[in-house]
Amino acid sequence: MTTPEPRAYEDACRHLIGIESAASETYTEALDFFHADPEQSLLLAIRAGHDENIDCISDHLLAMGASSENGETLDRFSKAVESISLTFGEHATFMALEAGEAAALEACRTAMADPELPAPLKEDLRSRLIPRLQRHVAELEKLRSEQAQDTQRLTANGV
């Protein structure tokens, strides 16, 4: 591996921070619609995971002497999830959140494939960010499945 171009390394970190910041904001928006457990606890935990991802990537920026301030976030996704929540309800919201997690996973995997990124960033992606994002997807899928089963039981009982 060659020494990474500092600007490319910084740009990759900022891109990942933008994705993670958008995810954190998305969960903040989604929490406006979920005020009970288990949904609220799960959304809070996932948002905290994205905040940890931001801190992890920010550490790489600081190590290279760059500012760790968040620039522009990808706010479009949080607004889309908010609209979905208002229009289509909980099930669709969880599907949208799962899609967002899948997009974040894909961004991490794309970064992992970049031969120019330094080993420490790749190691954090491999050992911290990707496993955390995979857990988020599994937790959201599980909750959505449980909600669907609850809905089927209520419908079967005429409620």
* Domain annotation covers residue 18: yes
Q: Residue 63: how many CB atoms within 10 A of its CB?
A: 13
* Domain annotation covers residue 32: yes
Contact status, residue 107 vs residue 15, Cβ threshold 8 Å: yes
* Domain annotation covers residue 96: yes
25-43 residue pLDDT tens = 889 888 888 888 889 999 9
**HSE-up of residue 119 (Cα within 13 Å, Cβ side):** 3
* Domain annotation covers residue 130: yes
* Domain annotation covers residue 1: no
Of 70, 15, 56, the C-alpha closest to 7 is: 15
- The CATH number of the domain where 51 resides is what? 1.20.1260.10
Q: In the chain, how many domains are there?
A: 1
Give pTM, 2 decimals. 0.82
How confident is residue 46, by pLDDT bands cut at 50, 70 and 90? very high
Look up the domain containing 126 and give its range: 6-156
66-105 residue pLDDT tens = 776 655 555 554 555 555 555 556 777 888 898 889 999 9
